[in-house]
Amino acid sequence: MSAPAPQPEVPRHEAWMRLALGEARAALATGDVPIGAVVVGPDGAVLAAGRNEREALGDPTAHAELVAIREAARALRNGAAGRPGEGWRLEDCTLVVTLEPCAMCAGAIVLARIPRVVFGAWDEKAGAAGSVFDILRERRLNHRAEVYGGVLEDECGELLREFFAAHR
């Protein structure tokens, strides 16, 4: 696992992470793993939010990050952030998620051109932002993201530990 990058915007990152934690808690209502995400626009306003919905939708790709990325792209196409007609390039946005993204989500982050990713708990089994893989900073890819890991790590991790303890 890589050491967390310096966090010059810790108060903003923590405030955004609290929003993502709210999304994660909402996932519990459908029996989904409690992971939440928000996409923040260049002005600091939330463009989109998502939570795990794999169980709710019967969709293995319905991870919190992908749900939020899809919604953010839709919001931009509809004129959010003063950018009407723009679509899938989330070039000035920040993705905030309660768990380190997996390889699938990291690939989507790269393809969406998201320049910053803030996450809470590290995923020692499937993380792709520095623990198992480091797709987000892979030099051979056409896009790399700044990564800020460990934001409200204890709170994010505890929510997941409680969920899995109750399901064993």
The Cα 93–Cα 72 span in angstroms is: 9
The Cα 120–Cα 128 span in angstroms is: 13
Residue 81: CA count within 13 A, CB half-sphere: 25
Give the strands of the sheet with 146-148, arranged side by side: 46-51, 36-40, 94-99, 116-121, 146-148
Query: 167 among the known binding-site residues?
Result: no
**Per annotation, catalytic residue among 65, 100, 124, 158:** 65
Whether 65 is catalytic is yes
The Cα 142–Cα 43 span in angstroms is: 25
Query: 13 among the known binding-site residues?
Result: no
Query: 102 among the known binding-site residues?
Result: yes
- Element at 23 (helix H, strand E): helix 10-27
Question: Please, which contacts does 82-88 make with residues 24 or more away whose CB atoms are closer than 8 Å?
Answer: 88/112
CA distances from 120 to 4, 51, 74, 81, 159 (A): 11, 14, 25, 26, 11
Binding residue numbers? 63, 102, 105
Where is the binding site for Zn(2+), in residues? 63, 102, 105
Return the active site residues. Answer: 65
